[in-house]
């Protein structure tokens, strides 16, 4: 008997929580677009992963776009929320706190290797709550492979300052806006110099770099649903498709089509 699949966002019971005997377990949800998992936390760590579809995962200081080629590690007790941007088959792993593959509370974005993907598929086919020699091997290999996966985040850090927060919220809502930092300063009631300083201090990057991350994050669900790259570039304020593709490859080490190929293939099944 494989893992049971649910199709709702209500809290799941604790029958499949990780234990010393079974340090890696799985829950499975198939959810349509725009469904939300409200902010929550749990005593185990979680690898948030979807076989197909696109997710947005948000914690206190940032938000990430997660296509099928990526997964995000969320440490124990870290509050997080999940929004399904494109219909997704979620297969998050629950990992016992004492077996965390990453130190500290920082989120980690993983480039999901072919081996990790197959190990997750193998775990899904195991009877839940039953320890066997095979599940022991699969769990140990999952933890080992997670620690080896390279990270390339699609992350948009979020500020705490209210003035900067107003600017960021407006730009997230309208990523193609062409306003300069001076133009935004006039809108939010702070000087251009103050905003520039806040971007560097709170978000660790310039206004231009942050806006670039926002635009690339917005591109993710558009590409996943098959929108032509030329239209994506136009909607997000890029001068051309080639300019958009070049920036995407520079940021993520992959072309847009390569990064989101699993999502489009998933939609065609």
State whether the Cα torsion 133-139-144-148 is positive or negative: positive
The pTM of the full predicted model, rounded to 2 decimals, is 0.72
Residue 68 exposed, middle or buried by CB count within 10 Å (0-12, 13-18, 19+): buried
pLDDT of residue 268: 40
pLDDT in tens, 191-213: 999 999 999 999 999 999 899 88
Q: How far apart are CA 66 and CA 49, in angstroms?
A: 8
How large is the average pLDDT for residues 109-132? 91
**Alpha carbons 62 and 107: distance in angstroms, whole number:** 9
- For residues 204 and 109, what is the distance between their CA atoms, to the nearest angstrom? 18
- Report the share of the chain in percent with pLDDT over 70: 93
pLDDT category, 154, cuts 50, 70, 90? low
3-class DSSP state of 48 = strand
The region that residue 75 occupies, defined by phi over 0 for left and psi between -120 and 50 for alpha, beta otherwise, is beta
Q: Stretch 257-269: mean pLDDT, rounded?
A: 53
Structure confidence at residue 69 (pLDDT):
81
Residue 265 clears pLDDT 60, i.e. is over it: no
Give yes or no for residue 81 having a pLDDT over 60.
Answer: yes
Q: Is the pLDDT of residue 267 over 80?
A: no
Task: Determine the pLDDT at residue 266.
Answer: 44
For the stretch 21-76, pLDDT in tens is 999 999 899 999 888 899 999 999 999 999 988 888 989 888 888 888 889 999 99
């Amino acid at each position: 008997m494989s893992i049971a699949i649910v199709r709702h966002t209500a809290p799941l019971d604790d029958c499949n929580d990780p234990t010393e005997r079974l340090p890696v377990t799985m829950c499975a949800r198939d959810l349509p677009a725009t469904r939300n998992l409200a902010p929550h936390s749990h005593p185990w760590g979680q690898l948030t992963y979807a076989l197909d579809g696109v997710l947005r995962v948000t914690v206190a200081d940032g938000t990430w776009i997660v296509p099928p080629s990526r997964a995000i590690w969320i440490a124990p007790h870290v509050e997080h929320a999940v929004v399904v941007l494109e219909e997704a088959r979620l297969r998050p792993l629950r990992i016992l706190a004492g077996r965390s593959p990453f130190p500290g509370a920082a989120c980690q974005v993983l480039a999901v290797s072919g081996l990790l993907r197959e190990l997750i598929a193998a775990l899904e086919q195991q009877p839940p709550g039953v320890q066997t020699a095979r599940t022991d091997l699969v769990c140990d290999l999952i933890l080992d492979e997670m620690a080896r996966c390279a990270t390339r985040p699609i992350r948009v850090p979020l500020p705490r300052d209210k003035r900067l927060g107003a600017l960021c919220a407006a730009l997230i809502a309208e990523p193609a806006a062409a306003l300069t930092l001076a133009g935004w300063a006039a809108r939010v009631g702070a000087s251009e110099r103050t905003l520039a300083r806040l971007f560097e201090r709170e978000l660790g990057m310039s206004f231009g770099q942050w806006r670039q991350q926002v635009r690339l994050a917005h591109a993710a669900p558009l590409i996943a649903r098959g929108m032509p790259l030329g239209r994506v570039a136009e909607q997000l304020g890029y001068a051309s498709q080639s300019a958009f593709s070049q920036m995407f490859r520079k940021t993520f080490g992959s072309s847009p089509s390569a990064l989101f190929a699993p999502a489009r293939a998933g939609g065609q099944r």
